[in-house]
Structure 1
Amino acid sequence: MEDEFPKKRNVRPTEKSNLPIVTLLVLVLLVLAMLYVGYEYISDSSSNSEELTSVVVDSTLDEQSVGEPITDEPAEALETTPAEKTAEPAKEKPKEAEKETTPAISASSVGGEQITHTVKSGESFSTIASRYNLKTETLKGLNSSSPELKSDVTKLKIQVQAVHTVGPGDVLRVVAGKYGITKEALMKANGRTRDFSERGEKLIIPFPSKK
């Protein structure tokens, strides 16, 4: 007679195994190791290619520099050719400024009579020459020994047409007409501001044209 309560079958105990997890971890580690090795290989190959490139460039530079002579002279000296060196003018010492000299002029070359003019304050060679109807160069040539003018000290040699002594009836207009000059030129040469002259007075007669 069978038991009223049948016996339970032997149930296979469930076993918890960690093998799949360990396998998965191993696979992940292998993949990471392969990636790391691949990255190292790629970086090494790129660095090697750069070194090869730099070596090629350096070799070309060396080939270009083979034909250049080796000297101890600086670069600037190498750029200058022998012809350019000979063409360079020798350095000369600075010359002193040449003094302006006016050639001397003789009184006989100008003609007329000679008088003496004492320089007054504010006068110059040009103003004095204009007064006596002379060129500035002529006045300087007659007084080449007096390059500087000092008022009330310097006395200049002046060449004029003549020196006229006023006689009866010699008004300025009449005197000017005798020598072929204007009354204004006569008054300017004698420093006059009025049309007046006295008997026995000496009047300076300038040249009709500039000498």
Structure 2
Amino acid sequence: MNEDKPRNPKPQEEASKLPLITLGVLVAIIAALLYLGWQYLSDDSVTANDLTNTKVDTVAIGTRSTDDLPVVATNDPEEPSKDKSDKKKDAATEKDKKAAEKTEKKKDEVKKPEPKKEEPSSEKATASDKILDAPGEIITHTVQSGETFYGIANRYNLKWEALQKLNPTVKPEGIKIGVTKLKVKVKAIHTVGPGDVLRVVAQKYGISKQLLMQANKKTRDISERGEKLIIPLK
């Protein structure tokens, strides 16, 4: 009899309570899930209403100008070749300009005459003083038709400054025919003798025959005995 009875029999009350607890937990979980689902659905409905109530600015989108759109750079394959050709043209034009400038400079150099070296006033004065200090004679020359102050100085192989010093009161532009008398410095006065041709007389005084003829206004190589020849300064 003792062998058929269990050693530790479970009480019947505890076994009956376990299914009830499990059922209560499941009900609580289901209720929590239902509550969470209801909140989620309510939030979705609010966002859907907000989306339907928002106004879309279709006018602004439709009237958007092309100026506001971003500019997209396009790669034109012809641009590099154009740039190269433009650079070549610019280089060619620069070379042409430089060549033209060089030719103009050369032309200017050819056209521009070399400036005449003017003697300083001190040198001019010294030359005229030398002429005045040279040995010789002073003669008087009366201005004739067609003569000028500078022409008379050239006739006697004088510088006009020296002739001006010999005649300080005479103005070169104020000489008068037959009235104005100028003092002229000459080397000598030679009287033509036998065999005195112009070439021989010129050699005797160390001057050229042309200069002798010029001082005496001779056009031919002829001289007469007893004629007085003016020997100009050398």
TM-score by length of 2: 0.42
Task: Find the structure with the greater CA-based Rg.
Answer: 2
Higher relative contact order (CA 8 A, sep 6+): 1
Pick the structure with more helix per residue: 2
